[in-house]
Each structure stands twice: as C-alpha cells, then as structure tokens.
Structure 1
Amino acid sequence: MRARPMTPDAVVHHLVQEIGARPAGRLRVAVDGHPGAEPGTLADALVDPLRAAGRPVARVHAHDFLRPASVRLQHGRGDPDSYFETWVDHGALAREVLDPLGPDGDGRYLPTLWDPERDRATRAAYQHAPDNAVLILDGALLLGRWLDFDLTVHLALRPDSRARRTPPHEAWTLPAYERYSAEAQPEETADIVVRVDDPRRPALVVER
C-alpha cells in the first residue's frame, strides 16, 4: 500500500474533481468512517465546492436513519454486534434516499427519518433532487451493506488510532469496527481511501 500525503483542502479538491469526472446525472457518494475520522466534516466540506461547480447537493446523515431504541438496544446498551448489524435502518436508507436518487429514481427523497434523541420519527418533508444533483451521505459502517452508491470514500484509521479517538463511554463499539474491517474490508473495497491517522496530514491511498 502506498499513500500520498495531502492537505485537508487538497483532499476536498481531489474528491470534487473525482465527482466532476463521473458521468452526468445524479451521483450517490458515501463518505464512510469511524466517528473519530470525522466523515461528516469531510462530507460538509464538499458541499460548497460542488455547488460552486454547478452541482446541487443533497446532504444526508446515516445517523438520521437509526432504528428506534427498542430495536437498537434490545440486547442492551453495550452490544457491539447489535451496533454493527441493526442500529442503522439500511433498508429505509435505500428505500427513502438511495433508490430515489438512483438512475431509475424520481429524485424525491427523505432527508431524515428518525430523531434518536427524542426517539421518534422526524416527520421531515420529502425533498426533490435535480437530475444533476450529488448526494453526499456520511456515516460509519456503511460499506458491505448492499447499498447502491456510485462513489465510495473510506476514511481509514489504524486500530490504535481508532481506540484513541473513541471516548471511553463508547469503547464498547470498537469490536464492531474490528468486525467491519474483517468482513467489509473497506480499505480494499472503497473507491477512494484516505488515511486520517493524523487529521492535519491526511494521505490518499494510491496503490493497494
């Protein structure tokens, strides 16, 4: 594996270029990574440059598609297998976001589904994405789920970096990320991999 050091701004520029080089039409982009890799921060940074390039953006967070607490926590609050398998409603994410923004979709998507703080539906209104819109979806454990993306970006962390960036009260989730690395192999399967062990000096993986 060989990686090319870049600045955070250069990573954003590279991804915007990659998106711009894709065929015309709606594009579904996943920015995947452990919360300590801050996939949401990178996803947010893509929005303005894409809009400046003339691409409307639909910005969605996987965290807004969690299942109800009764489902997520049926095996307790510290079960890593439940965290890996059932916390995010991948079926709803496909049905309400990815399929409508796919090549055969009508562009009518749901930006949020569930409020985990209040543990109830957000009752958000459907929105419409134009034909040339880019969906930017951030989240963790997104790959290997049979979700239809057109471009996948994985923010990679070494196990020690993952552990260091996980708050003590969330350390129980770490086995889920070990399982994810073993089963989904995101560093092998993502279209673009960026190593972010040092967030100030990310590195684009150019050979795998």
Structure 2
Amino acid sequence: MRRAVLTSIAAYLATRRPGHPLRVGIDGICGVGKSTFARELYSALAETARPVVLVDSDGFHHVRERRYRQGRDSARGYYEDAYDFDALVANVLVPLGPGGSREYARRVHDMASDEVVVGDTATCPADAVVLFDATFLQRNGLREYWDEVVYLHADVETATRRGVARDAGRLGGPENARAAFERRYAAACRIYLDEQRPRERASIVVGHDDPMVPLLERMPG
C-alpha cells in the first residue's frame, strides 16, 4: 500500500515539466513522518527518467539565539523562528524557479556547531525534481514558491505520539519529550493548522495516520 502511493506520486511528479526544476515541498505537522516519506519518494523518483535532488531541511534552521529568542518553550517561537525560510527562498527556491540560475545552497546553517554556512552550493539539473521536507512550508509568503506541495495529514495526537517516541532520547526521556511537544512542537503545529489550513491548500494530500497504510486523498489529474 505504501509503495503504491509513493509510486503514484512519483509518476505524477515525473510528468510535471514547468521549464525549471520542479520544487516540491513535503509538508505536515511534527511527528507525521515527513523525512522518511521524502527519502522514500526520492527513491521512487530515482526509478523514473527524472533526476531528483533532496535538500536537507536541517541545513535551513536559524541560529540558536534566533530559534529561542521567544523562549525555549514558546510555541509561537518555534512556528516563527525555527526555520530560516527567507534563506530558503533566496538561496534555493528562487534560483530553482523561473529564470533562475539553478545554483542553490545545500545548506546555510550547521546544527551541530550552530554556525552559519556560506558557499556550500551545487548546480541543479534543469529537469530535476527537488524535494524539501519541513513543517510550516505553506506559511504566508512561502507557498507561492512551491510548484507542488505534498501534505501528510495525521491527527495531532497520533503524530505527537510518534514524535515523542522518536525524540525521547534527544529530549531527555519520554516524559520530557511529551512535555516539549505539548508546550512547543505540537502547540506550534496547531497554530499553523489554524492560521494556514495547509491540508486544504496542498496540491497532493496523503492520509498518514498509519504510515504503513497511507491514503492518497488528493492528487491532480
């Protein structure tokens, strides 16, 4: 079932030729499974005739001081300050868009050192499908730069349980992880859902309550 959904989406994306690299955002709330889905979609696309590029969202965070300027537990702070979307637009989405140079930044920040990265660039094939997964990809001012958005939909509590299980080691155990999600991560996602209604705006929607049995809810054509 999962393989069939990934293959269907890959086949559709492989037909899309806008005259520049196809910019595809993989959107969804925290814990929904975006990164795994993006890697598997990359593999499915690699089996088509199109070149495919995966840009790692870990390279597009703000520095730590900016990420936590509204407080380490702030949901609004996570929503507004976690990702450097201005750098993503300027250094990836615009160069890969109409009339762009196709030279894009592979990253602008190193999470381990918290250093800004300059000059880590590559040139994208003109007919490539470019994948980027992160939360909040349809915020105002960003949605227009995606040629397609795949939105993975799951109930907030279902996604939170998966996120807590995934991040418990990083966040100091299950109880601390649950508290962090409730105060910051899941709470930020609720802001996003309320303000942007991303499920309604995405071009492709996949029901992802059970990642092994995804449901292709919407796709053009």
TM-score, normalised via structure 1 length: 0.90
- SS of structure 2 residue aligned to 1:37: coil
Name 2:57's counterpart in structure 1.
62
1:49 to 41, 44, 49: 44
Mapped pair 1:163 → 2:152: no
1:17 aligns with 2:11: yes
Match of 1:191 in 2: 203
- Could you list the per-position Cα deviations for residues 69-122 of structure 1 after superposition, in whole angstroms to 9, with x for gaps in the alignment? 111111221110010011111110001110111011110001111112211124
The answer as to whether partners of 2:17 and 2:127 remain within 8 angstroms in 1 is no
How far apart, CA to CA, are the structure 2 residues paired with 1:163 and 1:51?
31
Does the 8 A contact of 1:39 with 1:139 survive in 2?
Answer: yes
State the partner residue of 2:175. none
Any idea what SS the aligned residue of 1:127 has?
strand
> Taking every aligned residue pair, what percent have the same amino acid on both sides?
31
- What SS class does the counterpart of residue 163 from structure 2 fall into? coil
Aligned residue identity for 1:108: E
- Tell me if the contact between 1:61 and 1:139 (Cα under 8 Å) persists in the aligned partners: no
Q: Distance in 1 between matches of 2:98 and 2:17?
A: 11
Tell me, in whole angstroms, the C-alpha distance in 1 between the residues paired with 2:15 and 2:49. 13
Q: What displacement does 1:162 show? A: 2.7
Task: Tell whether the 8 Å contact from 1:113 to 1:122 is kept in structure 2 after alignment.
Answer: yes
Q: CA deviation at 1:163?
A: 2.9
SS in 2 for 1:14: helix
| Residues 1:107 and 1:119: Cα distance change in structure 2 (over 3 Å) | same
Q: Judge conservation of contact 1:65–1:113 (CA < 8 Å) in 2.
A: yes
The CA RMSD over aligned residues, in Å, is: 1.7
How high is the TM-score relative to the length of structure 2?
Answer: 0.85
1:28 and 2:23 correspond: yes
Structure 1 gaps of 5+ residues are 1-6
User: In the TM superposition, what whole-angstrom CA distance separates every residue of 1:150-187 from its partner, at most 9, and x where no partner exists?
Assistant: 00001011122133223225312211111111111011
Deviates more, 1:104-113 or 1:50-59: 50-59
Q: Which has the higher contact order (CA 8 A, sep 6+)?
A: 1
TM-aligned CA distance change 1:160 to 1:49, over 3 Å: closer
2:149 aligns with one of 126, 149, 152: 152
Instruction: Name the CA distance, whole Å, in 1 between partners of 2:213 and 2:44.
Output: 21
- Give the structure 2 partner of residue 205 of structure 1: 217
Distance 1:164 1:71, change over 3 A: same
Q: Which residue of 2 aligns with 1:97?
A: 92
AA partner of residue 8 (structure 2): H
